[in-house]
Amino acid sequence: MNHYPEVWGRPRDDIYGPYNSSYLQTTGPKTHTQSPAVTGTSVIAVKFNGGVAIAADNLASYGSLARFTDVKRLRVFGDSAVVGFSGDVSDMQYIDRLLESLDIRENYSTHGNMMNAKNLHTYLSKVLYKRRSEFNPLWNHILVAGFDEDKKPFLSSADLLGTTYSAPHLATGFGAHLAIPILRRLFPEEKPLEEISKGEAEAALRECLKVLWYRDARSLDKYSIAVITAEGVEIKEDQVIEAQSWAFAESIRGYGAQVN
Amino acid sequence: MARVPMQSLSSPQGRIFQVEYAQEAVKQGSVVVGLVNKTHAVLVGLKRNAEELSSYQKKIIEIDSHMGIAIAGLASDARVLSNYMKQQSLGSRMTYGRPIPVDRIVTQIADRAQTNTQHYGKRPYGVGLLVAGVDEAGPHLFEFQPSGMIHEMLACAIGARSQMARTYLERNLDKITNSTRDELITHGLRALKETLSQDKELTVDNTSVGVVGLAGEEGKGKIESFKLYEGQQLVPLLEAVESGETKEEETMEVDS
Amino acid sequence: MTSIGTGYDLSNSVFSPDGRNFQVEYAAKAVENGGTAIGIRCKDGVVLAVEKIITSKLLKPGANKRIATVDRHVGIVSAGLVPDGRHFVSRARDEAASWRSVYKGPIPVSALSNRLGSYVQAYTLYSSVRPFGVTAIVGGWDSEAELAVDGQVGSGPKSGSGGKVDGARAGGPGLYMIEPSGLYWGYYGAATGKGRQAAKAELEKLDLSSGNLSLVDAVKEAARIIYVAHEDSKDKDFELEMSWISSLDGPTHGRHEEVPKQLLEEAEKAAKRSLEGEDEEEEEVAKDGPNQGERMEE
């Protein structure tokens, strides 16, 4: 023990070499907005004949801790659009408030001119891009599902950099690795949208969520699924993954009794 | 009347004199007419030139591909408003990727105009506008006044001698509402013609026509972009007015 | 008005020797020429209605709305200078939005009215502005349910600290009227504009404080009252516009909405019938008034 409090409780210089105290520096730019804290994992979505289906589990993780298990990561906008969020949950709440006030403004006048999912996606991507340009990104990767101005199914993505892309099926986070291959097998590029039914799309999402529950350690077996059609949005927020079979896990190294 | 504060209410009915004087500026501007049917909105205007050799004052301004305005009154005030409208339209396309709804942009300029009637050190705009446009709710025509009043109209005329045009529009309102695109233009030009004094007539030099509307059957949900007809493009339109009250349709095919 | 011409009436923020602010009084004059606007507050909701004089045949029927939505649960109707009414509504929307950003929930109707009262009052204080030429009726429904916080993610604990309180009920209808002076009161039934005297007399007959009138009946009464109030300016055509806000389990689910077309037509029919019953000999004569495009009141 010496009379330099800043070295108390730290590795001794004489044994471990000089201590790198640069992280104690109090000046310099803020960095806490540049990494997420409480996060949601994958969102997955598929277009089908006459609409779009989108799903996400109900978990918000704090690091590896499954902190909140009843979180709604699908947000309905107006009567025909759904936004699915992965990434930082507090940033999601902020964006949700933006959407709320946008929705209120949209409803000031009553007749026609409702904002569609495509308009919404354009808006959100601009918000995300603006924030990344300020070095203060909103740490989210979002999917926007609904219809475009021609009433055709619309599905597009925007991430924390403001990058956008679109495809007949999309997934964020781990889903981009685990769900997309499944969706590509089920709905190959050459298969026209007209041949994909609502039921098939919904079943595919449930199947993907099950695989994610098996393999993504930050996922949950409780999830929400929304189906958007011309009739409106049908959202179910208390779904449970059924018919699980963990038999495959026996062959995984490090699982259960098998240690090596 | 000495030293009346700029923006104050006055007895006996709570009128605001500054606003009423601004309305006079609109009345002195040359006439513009606007009208809508179920698919299109049309603006027509009578252009004035200061002298024989000078050019004519612009009366119709395109704001965006789905909207245009016609002006009566101080052209420089109109430019301030039209620039603002252009900015707002572009802003909507940039942020949301959609054309701005017509009622929204009209409310925005009206709110700006209202501010000028309530705060010291400002004067009301000395210009009246007719705003024609299409959005998801269909074609629209709005009248804007310096007072900040806005009205959605089926047909309207503002500017010098516009009462004659309004009389024509009122008389033919049913026909106008149920007209075709080309008939609508002809009705607009006829209403405009009503306002002319004896020695004047509509020519390719002094007339302006703006048309915007929903595209026909082939382009469902698409629009026919705002188009300004000036100079020689007006020949067939003016001929349709001349060619009597009966057969407008056939002669008009040229412009569709 | 004996002080006209003495100069005290020309500037805002100046008292005349007998203690009056003439600018505010003139603003009230503008209101007196506006189309009648009323609000009825009943147990399960609020109704707003306004008489819109048709100043020109060329106006598009059914367009040109005069009742504005401020937030999901609040509506405003005003009488007087229409552009001032829009300014008022725009301020109300800003207040409602700013409340949301601070408190993460909808603004109570009482708080909104209070803020708007202060805003309007400020326009009587300075010589650089003129007062609002409107009297506005603010109607809304404060949610009786325990509201999810704006942007909330989970449902929270089911009981215990931070949990739900069973059977707790709050909220309800709100109706306020704000005058050009900034003065405002809460009302069971409020009326302003040209036909306010007749409308008030009718509202008083309804015994609203007893809470026996249902929302749907209030819609019909509101239509009738506007028709009664219009009797004095019978020579002019008018359009009736109505909106309502019900409780969460009512027809609008706590939202401010236009009264559905069918109900509106029904109410108008009933209103016309009740008027015909009163004076059969008088025929329905409706002619266009003179074109009054320059006027700012409607």
Q: What is the pLDDT of residue B253?
A: 46
Does residue B5 sit within a domain?
no
CATH (domain of C38): 3.60.20.10
Check if A33 is active-site: yes
CB B130, CB B59: distance < 8 Å: no
Please check the confidence at residue A10 and state whether its pLDDT lies above 90.
no
Interface test with A, best of C65, C153, C253 (most A CBs within 10 A): C153
Please check the confidence at residue B246 and state whether its pLDDT lies above 60.
no
Does residue C164 sit within a domain?
no
Give B136-180 pLDDT, tens digit per residue: 999 999 999 999 999 999 999 999 999 999 999 999 999 999 999
Q: How many H helices and E strands in chain C? A: 6, 10
Does residue C15 sit within a domain?
no
Q: What is the pLDDT of residue B248?
A: 45
Beta carbons within 10 angstroms of residue C150's beta carbon: 16
Least confidently predicted of A174-183, B3-12, C36-45 = B3-12
Does residue B186 sit within a domain?
yes
β-strands B150-152, C184-186 pairing? unpaired
Chains that touch B (3 or more CB pairs under 8 A): A, C
Does residue B50 sit within a domain?
no
Q: What is the pLDDT of residue A21?
A: 75
Q: What is the pLDDT of residue A252?
A: 78
Q: What is the pLDDT of residue C200?
A: 97
Does residue B10 sit within a domain?
no
Region B188-205: what's the mean pLDDT? 94
CATH (domain of B149): 3.60.20.10
Region B26-54: what's the mean pLDDT? 94
Q: Which domain holds residue C223?
A: 20-157+169-282
Does residue C10 sit within a domain?
no
Region A1-8: what's the mean pLDDT? 78
Total domains, chain B: 1
Please check the confidence at residue B59 and state whether its pLDDT lies above 80.
yes
CB A238, CB A222: distance < 8 Å: yes
CATH architecture of A38-241: 4-Layer Sandwich (3.60)
Region A147-170: what's the mean pLDDT? 96
Does residue C246 sit within a domain?
yes
Q: Which domain holds residue B137?
A: 17-45+56-250
Please check the confidence at residue A116 and state whether its pLDDT lies above 90.
yes
CA distances from C262 to A111, B133, C219, C267 (A): 17, 30, 12, 9
Q: What is the pLDDT of residue A257?
A: 62
CA A98-A101-A106 angle, to 5 degrees, is 120
| For B219, nearest residue in chain A (alpha carbons) | A150
Beta carbons within 10 angstroms of residue C72's beta carbon: 21
Q: What is the pLDDT of residue B35?
A: 97
CA-CA distance, B162 to C58, in Å (whole number)?
13
Residues of chain C predicted below pLDDT 70? 1-10, 147-153, 156-169, 278-298
| Any A CB within 8 A of C91 CB | no
Chains that touch C (3 or more CB pairs under 8 A): A, B
Are A96 and C100 in contact (CB < 8 Å)?
Answer: no
Q: What contacts C167, CB < 8 A, 6 or more positions away? A: none
Q: What is the pLDDT of residue C4?
A: 59
Give A56-95 pLDDT, tens digit per residue: 999 999 999 999 999 999 999 999 999 999 999 999 999 9
| pTM as predicted | 0.89
Please check the confidence at residue B187 and state whether its pLDDT lies above 60.
yes
Q: What ipTM was assigned to the predicted interfaces of this complex?
A: 0.89
CA-CA distance, B125 to B185, in Å (whole number)?
29
Please check the confidence at residue A235 and state whether its pLDDT lies above 50.
yes
Tell me the Cα Rg of chain C.
21
Region B112-128: what's the mean pLDDT? 91
Least confidently predicted of A12-26, B96-110, B235-249, C17-31 = B235-249
Total domains, chain C: 1
Are C58 and B169 in contact (CB < 8 Å)?
Answer: yes
Nearest to C10 among B8, B13, B19 (CB): B8
